[in-house]
Amino acid sequence: MARPVTPLPQAGGGDLALYIHWPFCVSKCPYCDFNSHVRDAIDQQAWRKALLADLAHEAALLPGRRLTSIFFGGGTPSLMAPATAEALIEATTTHWPAADGLEVTLEANPSSVEAERFADLAAAGVNRVSLGLQSLDDQALHFLGRAHSAGEGIAALEIAQRHFARVSFDLIYALPGQTADAWTAMLNRALGFGTGHLSLYQLTIEPGTRFAALHAAGKLQPLDPEASADLFELTAATTEAAGIPAYEISNHARPGEESRHNLTYWRYGDYVGVGPGAHGRRHGLRTVRHRKPENFLAGLVRNGQGMAEEAPLSSIEAADEALVMGLRLAEGIDPAVIALRFGLERLLDDRAVERLVASGHLEWAGNRLRTTAAGRLLLDTILGLIADPQPPSATSRSEKLVI
């Protein structure tokens, strides 16, 4: 019989972020393992009603919190009717008081059809857009299964910069056969567009994707790991020199233009997840919504919310997550603060930390521990070495409440 898990103490206040998932896409990209679905028709009014109901359920559980950010993710949220975005933003700021300068981000694809909605989305209250350009090269876009051309993507970026106060865009690099010269040229071109934020991701072969099937069949050969590491270091040096340094492993920003919403995740703050497949964290519980849109809607009919499960987080699980997320950030972590927050005697294996500091993979900046440039290349390995082992009786990870 599994040992019971005591949830973390309930927080009585503090800041809160909101994630709203729009699960629909025009097509499924071969590298994507996100919760996205292709449907012939979408009933916008029905989905507006469903998301508002799911939001109201969470708001009733978290009264009095201050909202710092809203993030519409997907899927492809730019396929959402602007009226739906407006209704959700208005409802959110009715449920919770909004912080000054509330950040409202929407992920968008750069098709001309979606770009036509940018003015209406801005009028609805969206003030930051994250644009999925993914590449500035037509051949690479074809390989990635993207529906837009490089020219269409740049045109959408120009429209976004006219309508939104803050604009970010994504690029995927370390594609098969990509050279340092080719990536340098694309990155310098990207930096020349003048946005204050870039998300630069190395291509990874995710389980369950079409790329994973091609790789298993020997039809797709990823870039050599050493070449990928070289491109990662090149990316960090180039963005640093341009005044848009990496503040997280894959995210780069001018000082003050970091994604406030994603910083909530990485600093292990509370956030609400609404919509199909959305994850959240509140009152010491990890929440997960039904992934399939139809199952999510059925759950709303049954229970008034789209929850698939709620799992209590033990102190050790929460501290471990805070460690993993925090070391992704350039600012690193304060281990003593995390240990105190979750009632642990210690967070790290001190001897392992000492060895990694001596080897040049970790460094101390006052009370904060952070990775060096060499350490960022080996973050997963470092995390496995420094996490302090805990006695088995301290926690059980199998307790789960299914709704």
Complete domains list, the chain, with CATH: 15-266 (3.20.20.70), 332-386 (no CATH)
Share of the chain above pLDDT 90, in %: 83
Cβ distance 231 to 180 under 8 Å?
A: yes
Residue 148 has pLDDT above 70, yes or no: yes
Token pair for residue 217?
A: 């069949």
Q: What is the pLDDT of residue 12?
A: 44
DSSP H/E element including 402? strand 401-402
Q: What is the pLDDT of residue 157?
A: 96
- Alpha carbon distance 34, 58 (integer Å): 23
Residue 26 has pLDDT above 90, yes or no: no
Cβ distance 308 to 51 under 8 Å?
A: no
Instruction: Give the mean model confidence (pLDDT) for residues 73-100.
Output: 94
Name the pLDDT band for 2 (thresholds 50, 70, 90): very low
Residue reference for tokens 């340098």: 184
Three-state secondary structure of 128-142? EEEEEEECCCHHHHH
Backbone angles phi, psi at 239, to 5 degrees: -70, -35
* N residues, the chain: 403
**9 vs 219, which has greater pLDDT?**
219
Q: What is the pLDDT of residue 76?
A: 87
Backbone angles phi, psi at 197, to 5 degrees: -150, 135
Token pair for residue 351?
A: 């001897």
Distant-in-sequence, close-in-space partners of 346: CB < 8 Å, separation ≥ 6: 335, 339, 388
**139 vs 115, which has greater pLDDT?**
139
Share of the chain above pLDDT 70, in %: 93
Q: What is the pLDDT of residue 203?
A: 96
Residue 281 has pLDDT above 80, yes or no: yes
Instruction: Determine the 3-state secondary structure of 88 from DSSP.
Output: helix
Q: What is the pLDDT of residue 392?
A: 40
Instruction: Give the mean model confidence (pLDDT) for residues 243-250.
Output: 98
Residue 144 has pLDDT above 70, yes or no: yes
**38 vs 337, which has greater pLDDT?**
337
Q: What is the pLDDT of residue 390?
A: 57
Residue 6 has pLDDT above 80, yes or no: no
Rounded to a whole number of angstroms, the distance between the first and last alpha carbons of the chain is: 20
Residue 251 has pLDDT above 50, yes or no: yes
Q: What is the pLDDT of residue 273?
A: 97
Token pair for residue 357?
A: 């500091």
Backbone angles phi, psi at 105, to 5 degrees: -105, 145
Q: Supply the mean pLDDT for the chain.
A: 90
- Residue 274, CA distances (Å) to 124, 187, 202, 219, 321 in order: 19, 34, 28, 38, 21
Q: What is the pLDDT of residue 401?
A: 29
Residue 198 has pLDDT above 80, yes or no: yes
Q: What is the pLDDT of residue 387?
A: 87
